[in-house]
Amino acid sequence: MTDWENYRTMTHYNDALLLKLFAFEFANNYGPLFYIAFFRKNHKDFFNSIGLPALEDSCRETNTCMSELSLQILTLMIIKPFPKYLKDLIQPWLKNIFNRLKKPKEKSSLLLSGGTKLDNDIFKEYRKPDLGDFTLVEYTEKVIQYGFQMLFAISFPLGSLFFFITILCDIHMDAKCLLKVCKRPIAFMAQDIGHWFTILDMINQIAVVTNAVIIAFTTEFGKERPLSQQLAIILVFEHVVFLVKYLLATFIPDVPQDIKLAIRREEYQREKANETLSIYLRVP
């Protein structure tokens, strides 16, 4: 679909592709969690509304679904990264072994023609498997993990610790894959991280609302309260969080002042160098 849209630049193409990809991943990964948090406790009303009154699904005695939601998030945050870890480690290792067994003659001829250590290193790099679309896959996986933590933070506060541990492990494995296991990728300049920043900001905005609704309608604290008090909890919670977020964004700049000064100094020096060069070129 993105190919048919025929974008003018690769930046626009990649932005459109990742928006479609993340929309699919959002529904696929977070849909069951939204169901457990907001619909499962009202299973009769939910199934009646979609024309399936005979189905039964509830959260046992308390019917708050908080324990089930916490368990589901814990399972996803711990179990979900493991297939990727195994793929990142085992698949390139098996490919390297297969390539060594498949091309022994090519290695011998290369050693005979060159015979130096540099030639051997070049051949080893050539034999390594390609990374593929490394950036898109890694960003998607990490943003999905980030969403597990942010969208349902109130149900599993320890999720931040597990998220931190899994990200550290993932960074270590990615570094090993980039430096030792796979071929070095070709670097391209980019203005920024593209629409990933927009997606992360969107997750933060949605997370405020989802956590407020969980407090008001799913937890024991807000479940038994009247609807007016539940709505008041949502409004107070989200306004306080958005206010704190705005204050932090206002008083903590994205670019530190010393970095801004260094950038301005570099721009000034570049302009002076261009002026000096232009004067030198005009001299007969």
The DSSP annotation for 201-262 comes to HHHHHHHHHHHHHIIIIISHHHHTS-HHHHHHHHHHHHHHHHHHHHHHHHHS-SS-HHHHHH
Q: How high is the pLDDT of residue 57?
A: 57
Q: Does 194 lie in the same domain as 139? A: yes
- In 82-156, the DSSP E strands lie at none
Q: Does 271 lie in the same domain as 179? A: no
Q: What is the dihedral of CA 51, 56, 59, 61, to 10 degrees?
A: 130
Structural domain contains residue 92: no
Instruction: Give the residue from 258, 221, 212 showing the smallest Cα distance to 239.
Output: 212
Q: Does 131 lie in the same domain as 73? A: yes
With beta carbons less than 8 A apart as the criterion, state whether 222 and 163 touch: no
Q: How high is the pLDDT of residue 207?
A: 92
Q: How far apart are the first and last CA of the chain?
A: 58
Q: What is the dihedral of CA 68, 74, 79, 81, to 10 degrees?
A: 130
Structural domain contains residue 117: no
pLDDT one digit per residue (tens) for the chain, 284 residues:
776 767 777 777 777 788 888 888 888 888 888 888 887 766 566 566 666 655 555 665 555 678 888 888 888 887 877 777 777 777 767 776 776 676 554 444 444 444 444 456 676 777 777 777 777 888 888 898 899 889 988 888 888 888 888 888 888 888 887 887 777 777 777 777 778 888 999 999 999 999 999 888 888 888 788 889 999 999 999 999 999 988 988 888 888 888 889 988 998 888 888 888 777 776 55
Which two structure tokens, joined as six digits, stand for 191?
A: 């203005």
Q: Does 167 lie in the same domain as 38? A: yes
Structural domain contains residue 93: no
With beta carbons less than 8 A apart as the criterion, state whether 152 and 211 touch: yes
Q: Does 266 lie in the same domain as 207? A: no
Q: Does 47 lie in the same domain as 160? A: yes
Q: Does 261 lie in the same domain as 187? A: no
DSSP-derived secondary structure letter, 60: T
Structural domain contains residue 105: no
Q: Does 262 lie in the same domain as 151? A: no
Residue keyed to tokens 């022994």: 104
Rounded-to-integer distance, Cα 16 and Cα 23, Å: 11
Structural domain contains residue 131: yes
Q: Does 266 lie in the same domain as 246? A: no
Name the pTM for this structure.
0.73
Q: Does 145 lie in the same domain as 13? A: yes
Structural domain contains residue 100: no
Q: How high is the pLDDT of residue 43?
A: 59
Q: How high is the pLDDT of residue 47?
A: 61
Q: Does 279 lie in the same domain as 167? A: no
Q: Does 60 lie in the same domain as 15? A: yes
Structural domain contains residue 112: no
Domain holding 272, by residue range, is 257-283
Task: List Cα–Cα distances, 265 to 149, 191, 256, 276, 277, in angstroms.
Answer: 40, 20, 14, 16, 18
DSSP-derived secondary structure letter, 155: G
**How many CA atoms does the CB half-sphere of 250 hold within 13 Å?**
6
Domain count, the chain: 2
Q: How high is the pLDDT of residue 237?
A: 92
Q: How high is the pLDDT of residue 170?
A: 84
Structural domain contains residue 97: no
